[in-house]
Amino acid sequence: MSKTWEHYHHAAHHHEKAAYHFHEAAKYDQADEHEKAAHHAYLAHGHRHAAHHDVEAAKLHSEQCSMKAIPASAQVAKKKSAAQDAA
């Protein structure tokens, strides 16, 4: 499983949880149960990790796309020079 996919998967999970808690908060707010509404709003805010995973997935996707844009011969040369620098 690729890291990009993992980040998209985690982001989707956090977005789902946040949406659920925002929905619950709105439902309780309409019923004038403000304590429960505040609790669900707090839980929804806790799922802000979705943004982190969105950003990480975008970074990885961008890196993958830029690697595809570089000709294969240049990629091999870049890897060889990096290996020589490390040695």
Task: Identify the pLDDT of residue 83.
Answer: 63
Q: Two tokens at 66? A: 């830029």
CA torsion sign, 58 to 62 to 68 to 74?
A: negative
Q: Two tokens at 47? A: 């799922």
Domain of residue 17, residue span: 3-86
pLDDT digits (tens, 9 = 90+) for 9-60: 888 888 888 889 889 999 998 889 989 988 988 888 776 667 777 777 778 7
How many domains would you assign to the chain? 1
> How many other C-beta atoms lie within 10 A of the C-beta of residue 15?
16
Mean pLDDT across the stretch 62-69?
Answer: 71
Closest CA to 40 of 29, 31, 49, 30: 29
Q: Two tokens at 20? A: 């659920």
Task: Identify the pLDDT of residue 80.
Answer: 62
